[in-house]
Amino acid sequence: MSTMPMMPSMPQGAEAPLLLVEQVHKAYGEHAVLVGLDLQVRPHEVVALIGASGSGKSTLLRCINGLEEVDAGHIVLDGDLEVTPPGADLDLVRRRVGIVFQGYNLFPHLSVLDNITLGPRKVLGTSRAQAEQAARTLLDRFGLAERAETFPDRLSGGQQQRVAIVRALAVDPELMLFDEITSALDPQLVGEVLDVVRELSTSGMTILMATHEMSFAREVADRVCFLDNGRVLEQGPPSQVLESPIEARTAEFLARTRRG
């Protein structure tokens, strides 16, 4: 039987975390990727994960969504939904936690509208009419209304990524995970995708995003976490972590990113 982790004591009046990651370990063979990683994300908070390639950002996001199984530790959503097995209801986890990757992963044989309505219809049991109405509302919200009947191969990379975000939002998740969603885009298309994330952040969506866009993290994140060798080495407000880091490893990483 799965044993739920003890929730850390919260200061009186503090908001309980929507996401609790506690002492999570994950290895691929002999290669340890996550090493006793701890993280909390509060409701409506935007948290940016930064760090070098291989530091564990993508693996962490995949573990939170249940796409990867942790070797040890616990991941709990909203205080009651265990993400880590045994006892994990992964269908429920994926209804409550949306994830968007670098690749758009749209179904090429389906129109934009059908890509978006598939989840609500299959996962939530929503009728086609209701799913299409909700999808069109989301498409209109993010400037894609005229693309509803278009197939993915007729869209730009930026448009495909925006559709991928809308598809994830269509099941009304509590938490959105973004895994370097602009890294595969041409530079001129990055802005339109970041605009979607910016709009979500101002609307109160809880977001955990791995990003190499430091200026964007400074703008939209409430907190920045620097991952190094599978742990959160440093975290704090963007102004502190990105401009006056405490840890030497954080400062070294930021210096490398500035040099390009």
Cβ pair 67, 58 in contact under 8 A? no
Q: What's the CATH number where 246 sits?
A: 3.40.50.300
Does residue 133 belong to any structural domain of this protein? no
At residue 259, does pLDDT exceed 90? no
Q: Quick count: other Cβ atoms within 10 Å of Cβ 188?
A: 10
Does residue 140 belong to any structural domain of this protein? no
Under the banding of pLDDT at 50, 70 and 90, the label for residue 11 is very low
Does residue 231 belong to any structural domain of this protein? yes
Which pairing describes strands 46-50 and 223-228: parallel, antiparallel, or unpaired? parallel
Does residue 97 belong to any structural domain of this protein? yes
Q: How many domains does the chain have?
A: 1
DSSP, res 145: G
pLDDT score for 14: 60
Q: Where is average pLDDT lowest: 7-21, 94-108, 142-156? A: 7-21
Q: Three-class SS of residue 252? A: helix
- pTM, 2 dp: 0.91
Does residue 197 belong to any structural domain of this protein? yes
* Domain boundaries, position 46: 19-105+174-259
Does residue 45 belong to any structural domain of this protein? yes
At residue 87, does pLDDT exceed 60? yes
Burial 95-116 (b: 16+ CB within 10 A, else e): bbbbbbbbebebeeeebbbbbb
